[in-house]
Amino acid sequence: MPFFPPPSSQSPRALSPRTVGTILSIGLLTLPFATACKGGGSSGGSGGSGGGDIKIGVPVPLSGDSASAGQDIVAAAKVAADEVNKAGGVNGKKIQIVEADDACSAQQGAQAAQKLLNSKVVAVAGGYCSSAAVPAVPIFGRRNVPFVIDAATNPVLTETGKGKVFRTCGRDDKQGLFAAKFMTGELKAKRIAVLHDNTTYAKGLADAAADSVKQQGGGAQIVYNDALQPGQADYTPVLTKIASTKPDVLYFTGYFAEAGLLMKQRKQLGLKFALMGGDATTDKTVVKTAGSAAEGYMATTAPLAKDLPTASGFVTAYKTKTGADPGPFSVYEYDAVKVLAKAIGDAKSTKGEDITKALHAIKGYQGITGPLSFDDKGDRDGLLYITVSVKDGDFAGYKKLDAAGTTWVDAKSA
Amino acid sequence: MNEFVQYLVNGLTIGSFLALIALGYSMVYGVVRLINFAHGDIFMIGAFAGFSVLTTIGVTGGMALPAVLAAVVIGALTTGVVGTGIARVAYTPLLKAPQLSLFIAAIGVSLALQEGVKVLTDARFKSYPNALDGGQILGGSVRVTYGQLVLVVLAVVLMAGLWFFITRTVTGTAMRALAMDRDAARLQGINVERLILMTFFIGSVLAGAAGVMYGLYYTQISFGMGFLIGLRAFTAAVLGGIGNLPGTMAAGIFIGLVQSFSAGYISSRWTDVIIFALLIGVLALRPTGLFGERVVERA
Amino acid sequence: MNLDSRLLRYSGWPVLILLTAVVGQFLDDYALTVAASIIIYAILGLGINIVVGYAGLLDLGFAAFYAIGAYVSGLLILKQGWNFWLTLPVAIAAAAIAGLIIGYPTLRLRSDYLAIVTLGFGEIIRITVINLEVTGGPNGLTGIPPVTIAGREFVTPVDFFYLVLVFFVIVLAVTGLLARSRLAYAWRAVRSDDRAAEAVGVPTRRVKLLAYVLGAAVGAVAGPLNAAQLGTVDPSNFTFLTSLFVLLVIIIGGMGSRPGVVVGAVVVVALPEVLRTVQDYRGLVFALLLIAIILVRPQGVWPARFRPLTLPEVAPAAERRTAKGRLLEITGLSRRFGGVTAVEDLDLTLDAGEVISVIGPNGAGKTTAFNCITGMIVPSAGTVAVNGSDVAGQAPHRVAAAGLARTFQNIRLFGDMTVAENVLIGRFARDRGLLRRLGAADLEAVRRCLDFVGLSDAATRSASALSYGERRRLEIARALAADPAVILLDEPAAGANPTEKRSLMELIAQIRALGIAVVLIEHDVALVMSVSDRVTVLEYGRTIAAGPPADIQEDQRVIAAYLGVPDDPETDLVAEVLG
């Protein structure tokens, strides 16, 4: 039996299939025009309609594995927009949220950015995967549209942002430093193992933590720095190998799907070293996977909604709107939209350069995640990381550095 | 040394899953000359079927052996039905078509299954109740859990059952005949279409069982779990000689061991590269697999 | 060929390109980005079209070439400060080498194994670039500057769109040249039946490797372009899913069809965008669509169409071969399979203009002997001298080139090619050139051979549409196109009725008149005895008799082994046959 279908018959009588083919082809070739039409309009919106609205773009993954995170961020943006509009809008106009799917990939990220620009957004508040944000930065930059990032933590975004990229979240190198301090200071670990999953974010954070540990000195050393493979499910070989290096603590910088499995399998193997993770592991589902093995698990993170007394209003509003709890980055997106609204109001203009200038000028804006100011590069000044841990089946604040930055105190303390 | 034994134990566990799934690939290929791309996703369907069973029964924790077995049996049979249904709808119309069409249809089915489940689960993963927790068997620092033991035993039982079926029963023998020469089999009075569907059924049952067991053991299941493991299982099937059931089983265990030892002694970042390099190397030297094929190439 | 239809045929591409260029002026930035993606996928499609569409090598890891092109270009730009244009030839060369490395192990593999091996290579490349620091790890390469020509940056969607369009036109022209070369015909033969192609004289190994090399080179062009568009080389762009989408471009469009590539690229890129409105269900719809296409229209939306060969009206008559003397000398040919000796110590000699036959019961080793002689099996011992040079153990296409042509017992024609094209493939034994167009010599040979066997009227018909007798003659025509010194016919009269047998005998006589020596395997004893100068009889691999037909008919051993013993109930049949 032939493997391939034979090409269509060469006899001149075969007109019918040929005509079918031509018609089909012409039909399909009009597809791009369908996109052109759809691309012109905006997709989705809230808080107002019609011309004259101030459009804020939200590029996040809405398909693929991170879709749930993206949806949480869009929902938070809409909560913020609703609030602003209810209070009278900005400069007399309503804010409209325009979402776009970057599918956590570079190609889609670039396309999503173009799409948003097409929809005439004046500013952008969003981003989750650094790999999707990287190509978007110059695209927005060329049109001077400011980009306020709520969750993408790769340092390169603001380093190459030319001052037009801002963050309400932290950066991996800062989180890495914080993690190093915690492990050497509070946990008093001398032998530290670092594990990532070979993705951009996780490797960045792992390398940052490893470098910081080395710089800390004081006898602490990195005994292991390697990656596991996401999607594999069986990490017992990796854990066994890590155990053979006799670490005091293992810092896993990947995502929560793998974190839960690591917790469970670590207990299965009866391993003794402490396990902690980065801020992508703080999803409650790890408890479902690991069960009792999750108790005591620690993670570094920017404060979660529940750790922020100032965020309670937001949490209620979010729950009312969506019926679910906010995701870990929802509060940062909320602040991103709100701070943009403020900047637009301050600038009294919707021109990109004016908004950017106004953003840089903001000092001590009271966001629900804390006081907000941006440094020259656009990074958030003085964002405090904290550590959380699993207690009674949920994440709760654990430890943070005091104001002086030297002693470890309970996270809930003022 | 302890590490070595631990890697061995883990490798055997992983290998059991791979062998079960690889058998399905092997059987179907032997009979229909189709690399059923969707087979790994059938495995995923099995995991979700078992999940539904367990949540319906309402297991909370601890070693609930009856519940476990119920989940495996019901989940596997359900998966068998689903797999057969898919074959009936998407594959049997293409049995007379060029092979490539069948291959592409399988790819389409694979995507459809993944996407369908993704929509149903909202792209989040689901967690099995911890029904197989606890228990340490081997002494010292090597850990074997009850769960592992149950699973390996189950896998062996299933494989032995398959072997018995293929070699000792009439239907099994008919399947082997079908694999050798479809037209001759038909002329002998074998109902080819029905037997092909039965092959899909058995292959899907095995994959479904593997899926439930996987869920029980690893707890986390998601719509994309079938792809990577499907690929590794397929590598095992080819390595062992497709259509050659004992060879496939051996190769499945082998790949599991490679996965474990490569993660332990090299780095799990390079596991796939090693596995694929092995595959390419073997095929370059022996184009019909390590243990040779049991399908007859028509001149 | 009148002017109108010619105009129609040649104007297709230019019109499309012009239309696209014009439309580009009216599209917004987003649509232009999508359009540029479509063109990039079309370039990839043209590349995989060579490997899968023409040569029939199912490549599931084509993204590897895309990746290599992108990374090589990106690394040279970032680390060595090279200009984009300088990196292009290096990137293409790197991918071509990769094509060689990937293609080599797959040469002996079956389609499905080949698919998985190529998939494996794709994954190996992807994982390697993620694991190595020098390629940027999972981050990939960032900060790649846009393409510049004479200081002008091509970075806005409009500029980039036109840049990519120009590249597409160039790639289109190159693949167009390829599609008209001798290599294209060789590919189609290899795709149809690679062992038959090899036996007939096509250097299949080289042809397959060229498919990988050229396909990779084309695919690699898309890499640097994409890198320049996004400013990054992101490893998640080169997953198995990407390879799958590139394959889908030609499956949807039609394999081997360049217009199909355009249609396929449009569907693969634009459809998910259009389906964004049903976001969550996008993947599902795509998958179901794929299944629907394969069930309903597997040849693709715009199936490949091949222009028939333009044969000369009249071909100069074949020259009588002036070769004299010993054309074929086989000594001590043996072949063992484990414990079984299929052929033992076979000796044959053949002079110009001679016809000898090899007969014997089934399983005597006749076809095995043929296979050993023609190189399809390596003999365990012995020499096969054609025109004095020993070809034993050489690849079949070399044996064919040495002057040995053959036909097959079960007729192995290239079913999806025309009669004329089948004969054309026979020419490869005489002329192994690949990267040029068909020459006058090729077309004249086809015409001559078709006339010789009486199939001139059927030249444009598909080979699979011929009657049984016509197929036999076509196979002989194909063998003759090689201008051989010796032709081996394996049971040419099998299944033929008496009329066909008679014309076959005439054909053999005519072949001999040309000075070509003939070796025949046959079961029709009457035919054998009347046509042959000498007969060799095999039984269980051993030669039990050899000599002129008259002697063989009387030989007791032969009668016992094959022709039948007088007490045999078949006696009357024997008398009838020999009478």
What pLDDT score was predicted for residue B59?
66
Please judge whether B99 and A2 are an interchain contact, meaning their C-beta atoms are less than 8 angstroms apart: yes
Query: What is the mean pLDDT of the segment spanning C173-181?
Result: 93
* C525 plus C408 within the same structural domain: yes
* pLDDT confidence bin for C76, thresholds 50/70/90: very high
* pLDDT confidence bin for A6, thresholds 50/70/90: low
As a whole-number percent, the residues of chain C with pLDDT over 70 amount to 94
* C494 plus C349 within the same structural domain: yes
Instruction: State the smallest CA–CA distance between residue C42 and chain A in angstroms.
Output: 13
* pLDDT confidence bin for A49, thresholds 50/70/90: very low
C-alpha triplet A46, A49, A52: angle, nearest 5°? 120
Beta carbons of C302 and C266 less than 8 angstroms apart: no
What pLDDT score was predicted for residue B139?
60
Which has more pLDDT, A283 or A331? Answer: A331
What pLDDT score was predicted for residue B77?
95
Residue range C311-329, pLDDT digits in tens = 888 777 766 666 677 888 8
Identify which of B275, B15, C169 has the alpha carbon closest to the alpha carbon of residue A234: B15
Query: What is the mean pLDDT of the segment spanning C369-377?
Result: 89
pLDDT surpasses 70 at A15? no
Tell me which chain A residues have a C-beta less than 8 angstroms from the C-beta of B127: 260, 285, 288-289
* pLDDT confidence bin for C345, thresholds 50/70/90: confident
Tell me which chain A residues have a C-beta less than 8 angstroms from the C-beta of B101: 5
Residue A318 token pair: 């979010």
* pLDDT confidence bin for A11, thresholds 50/70/90: very low
Dihedral sign for Cα atoms in the order A185, A189, A190, A192: negative
* pLDDT confidence bin for B49, thresholds 50/70/90: very high
Interface test with B, best of A72, A229, A261 (most B CBs within 10 A): A229
Which chain A residue is nearest to residue C233, measuring alpha carbons?
A: A106
In a domain, C450, yes or no: no
Q: Which residues of C73-88 are buried (b: 16+ CB within 10 A; e: fewer)?
A: bbbbbbeeeeebeebb
How many Cβ atoms sit within 10 Å of the Cβ of residue A6?
17
Q: Tell me the C-alpha distance between C91 and C216, whole Å.
A: 10
Residue range C450-471, pLDDT digits in tens = 999 989 888 889 998 998 889 9
Whether the CB of A226 is below 8 Å from some CB of chain B: the reply is yes
Instruction: State the smallest CA–CA distance between residue C302 and chain A in angstroms.
Output: 5
In a domain, C434, yes or no: no
**Which chains lie within 8 Å of chain B at 3 or more CB pairs, if any?**
A, C
Whether the CB of B266 is below 8 Å from some CB of chain C: the reply is no
Polymer length of chain B: 299
Residue C338 token pair: 């484990």
Query: What is the mean pLDDT of the segment spanning B99-124?
Result: 85
ipTM (interface predicted TM): 0.86
Please judge whether A203 and C262 are an interchain contact, meaning their C-beta atoms are less than 8 angstroms apart: no
In a domain, C213, yes or no: yes
What pLDDT score was predicted for residue C171?
96
In a domain, C255, yes or no: no
As beta bridge partners, residue C355 has: C518
Identify which of A345, A357, A347, A386 has the alpha carbon closest to the alpha carbon of residue A369: A386
pLDDT surpasses 60 at A9? no
pLDDT surpasses 70 at A229? yes
Instruction: State the smallest CA–CA distance between residue B260 and chain C in angstroms.
Output: 18
Whether the CB of A324 is below 8 Å from some CB of chain B: the reply is no
Residue range A59-111, pLDDT digits in tens = 999 877 777 789 999 999 999 999 999 998 888 899 999 999 998 888 889 88
Interface test with C, best of A4, A19, A153, A228 (most C CBs within 10 A): A4
Please judge whether C191 and A4 are an interchain contact, meaning their C-beta atoms are less than 8 angstroms apart: yes
Which chain B residue is nearest to residue C121, measuring alpha carbons?
A: B276
Residue range B3-47, pLDDT digits in tens = 888 888 889 888 988 998 998 888 888 788 788 889 999 999 999
Last residue of a domain, which of C238, C273, C299? C238
Tell me which chain C residues have a C-beta less than 8 angstroms from the C-beta of B114: 283, 287
Which chain A residue is nearest to residue C112, measuring alpha carbons?
A: A3
What pLDDT score was predicted for residue A400?
81
Which has more pLDDT, C355 or A11? Answer: C355
* C232 plus C330 within the same structural domain: no
Looking up residue C407, the CATH number of its domain turns out to be: 3.40.50.300
Tell me which chain B residues have a C-beta less than 8 angstroms from the C-beta of C121: 276, 280
* C48 plus C194 within the same structural domain: yes
* C229 plus C330 within the same structural domain: no
Q: What is the 3-state secondary structure (H, E, C) of C537-551?
A: EEECCEEEEEECHHH
DSSP C467: -
pLDDT surpasses 90 at A257? no
Q: Which of C157, C263, C418 faces A10 most closely, judged by CB atoms?
A: C418
Residue range A167-183, pLDDT digits in tens = 998 888 889 999 999 99
What pLDDT score was predicted for residue C274?
77
pLDDT surpasses 60 at C568? no
Beta carbons of C64 and C97 less than 8 angstroms apart: no
Lowest mean pLDDT among A158-162, B246-250, C8-12, C439-443: C8-12
- Cβ-Cβ contacts under 8 Å for C437 (sequence gap 6 or more): C180, C181, C182
Crossing angle, helix C111-131 and helix C63-80, to 10 degrees? Answer: 20
Residue range B175-206, pLDDT digits in tens = 888 877 777 888 888 788 888 899 999 999 99
Please judge whether C111 and A106 are an interchain contact, meaning their C-beta atoms are less than 8 angstroms apart: no
Query: What is the mean pLDDT of the segment spanning C299-304?
Result: 87
β-bridge pairing C486-490 and C517-521: parallel
In a domain, C303, yes or no: no
What pLDDT score was predicted for residue C476?
93
Which chain C residue is nearest to residue A196, measuring alpha carbons?
A: C138
Query: What is the mean pLDDT of the segment spanning B155-165?
Result: 87
β-bridge pairing C232-233 and C141-142: antiparallel
Tell me which chain C residues have a C-beta less than 8 angstroms from the C-beta of A208: none
* C357 plus C491 within the same structural domain: yes
Tell me which chain B residues have a C-beta less than 8 angstroms from the C-beta of A264: 219
Q: Tell me the C-alpha distance between C568 and C579, whole Å.
A: 17
In a domain, C57, yes or no: yes
* C363 plus C507 within the same structural domain: yes
pLDDT surpasses 60 at C407? yes
Please judge whether A270 and B141 are an interchain contact, meaning their C-beta atoms are less than 8 angstroms apart: yes
Whether the CB of A200 is below 8 Å from some CB of chain C: the reply is yes
Identify which of C167, C20, C162, C15 has the alpha carbon closest to the alpha carbon of residue C84: C167
Query: What is the mean pLDDT of the segment spanning A211-220?
Result: 88
Last residue of a domain, which of C222, C238, C254? C238
Segment 50-109 of chain B within 8 Å of chain A by CB:
61, 97-101
CA dihedral B71, B73, B79, B80 (to 10 degrees): 180
Q: Tell me the C-alpha distance between C448 and C444, whole Å.
A: 6
C-alpha triplet C341, C343, C349: angle, nearest 5°? 160
Q: What is the 3-state secondary structure (H, E, C) of C461-523?
A: CEHHHCCHHHHHHHHHHHHHCCCCCEEEEECCCCCCCHHHHHHHHHHHHHHHHCCCEEEEECC
Q: Tell me the C-alpha distance between A205 and A171, whole Å.
A: 9
Q: Which of B33, B112, B297 faces C284 most closely, judged by CB atoms?
A: B112
Residue range A185-210, pLDDT digits in tens = 888 899 999 999 988 888 989 999 99
* C36 plus C176 within the same structural domain: yes
Which chain A residue is nearest to residue B298, measuring alpha carbons?
A: A1
What pLDDT score was predicted for residue A32?
54
Segment 266-305 of chain C within 8 Å of chain B by CB:
280-281, 283-284, 286-288, 290-291, 294-295, 298
Residue range A307-366, pLDDT digits in tens = 788 888 899 999 998 888 888 889 999 999 999 999 999 999 889 999 999 999 998 888
In a domain, C354, yes or no: yes
* pLDDT confidence bin for A37, thresholds 50/70/90: very low
Which has more pLDDT, A206 or A401? Answer: A206
Residue C97 token pair: 């080498």
* pLDDT confidence bin for A30, thresholds 50/70/90: low
Query: Could you give the number of structural domains in chain C?
Result: 2
Lowest mean pLDDT among B61-70, B87-96, C76-85, C398-407: B61-70
Interface test with C, best of A10, A20, A74, A142 (most C CBs within 10 A): A10
Whether the CB of B124 is below 8 Å from some CB of chain A: the reply is yes
Tell me which chain C residues have a C-beta less than 8 angstroms from the C-beta of A134: 142, 231-232, 234
Q: Which of C108, C120, C286 faces B276 most closely, judged by CB atoms?
A: C120
Please judge whether A199 and C138 are an interchain contact, meaning their C-beta atoms are less than 8 angstroms apart: yes
Which of left, alpha, beta for B72 (phi over 0: left; psi -120 to 50: alpha)? Answer: alpha
Which chain B residue is nearest to residue A6, measuring alpha carbons?
A: B98
Residue C279 token pair: 């976001």
* C215 plus C339 within the same structural domain: no
Interface test with C, best of B33, B111, B227, B232 (most C CBs within 10 A): B111
* pLDDT confidence bin for B242, thresholds 50/70/90: confident
Which chain C residue is nearest to residue B92, measuring alpha carbons?
A: C295
pLDDT surpasses 70 at B249? yes
Residue range C248-285, pLDDT digits in tens = 899 889 889 999 999 999 988 888 777 766 666 777 88
**Domain carrying residue C145:** 31-238
Please judge whether B61 and A1 are an interchain contact, meaning their C-beta atoms are less than 8 angstroms apart: no
pLDDT surpasses 60 at B296? no
Please judge whether B279 and C284 are an interchain contact, meaning their C-beta atoms are less than 8 angstroms apart: no
In a domain, C449, yes or no: no
Please judge whether C120 and B280 are an interchain contact, meaning their C-beta atoms are less than 8 angstroms apart: yes
* C389 plus C506 within the same structural domain: yes
Last residue of a domain, which of C186, C205, C238? C238
pLDDT surpasses 80 at C296? yes
What pLDDT score was predicted for residue A42?
38
Tell me which chain B residues have a C-beta less than 8 angstroms from the C-beta of A261: 218-220
pLDDT surpasses 80 at C348? yes
Lowest mean pLDDT among A50-59, B248-257, C75-84, C196-205: A50-59
Query: What is the mean pLDDT of the segment spanning B149-161?
Result: 84
Whether the CB of B58 is below 8 Å from some CB of chain C: the reply is no
Which chain C residue is nearest to residue A30, measuring alpha carbons?
A: C266
What pLDDT score was predicted for residue A51?
57
Which has more pLDDT, C317 or C164? Answer: C164
Please judge whether A65 and B123 are an interchain contact, meaning their C-beta atoms are less than 8 angstroms apart: yes
Q: Tell me the C-alpha distance between C443 and C435, whole Å.
A: 17
What pLDDT score was predicted for residue C321?
65
* pLDDT confidence bin for A10, thresholds 50/70/90: very low
What pLDDT score was predicted for residue B295?
47
What pLDDT score was predicted for residue A4?
58
**Which chains lie within 8 Å of chain C at 3 or more CB pairs, if any?**
A, B
